[in-house]
Amino acid sequence: MKANADPNIVIMLVGNKLDVCKENPDLRQVKYEEAEKFAKRYELLFKESSAFEDINVKEAFEDLLQGRVKV
């Protein structure tokens, strides 16, 4: 995306299913720190969320629209 889009494009990596991870940490597929490191490496916004429990869904969209990072 960055190679073919406006140089000021804002991209966000969203880890979903946070509710599942909270319920059973062994089901986590990607460690938070690993995802955070990936996002920083590629200059992406990063947020974990749960659509099921409505955790950080609105905030993710707001952060993306405002181009700000809240890790």
Digit-coded pLDDT (tens) for 1-52: 888 888 888 899 999 999 999 899 999 999 999 999 999 999 999 999 999 9
Contact 11, 33 (CB under 8 A): no
Predicted TM-score (pTM) of the model is 0.81
Going along the chain, which residue ranges are E strands? 12-15, 45-48
The residues spanned by each domain of the chain are 12-66
What is the residue type of 71? V
CA angle 17–22–28, rounded 5-degree value? 60
Is residue 69 pLDDT above 70, yes or no? no
Confidence of residue 71 (pLDDT cuts 50, 70, 90): very low
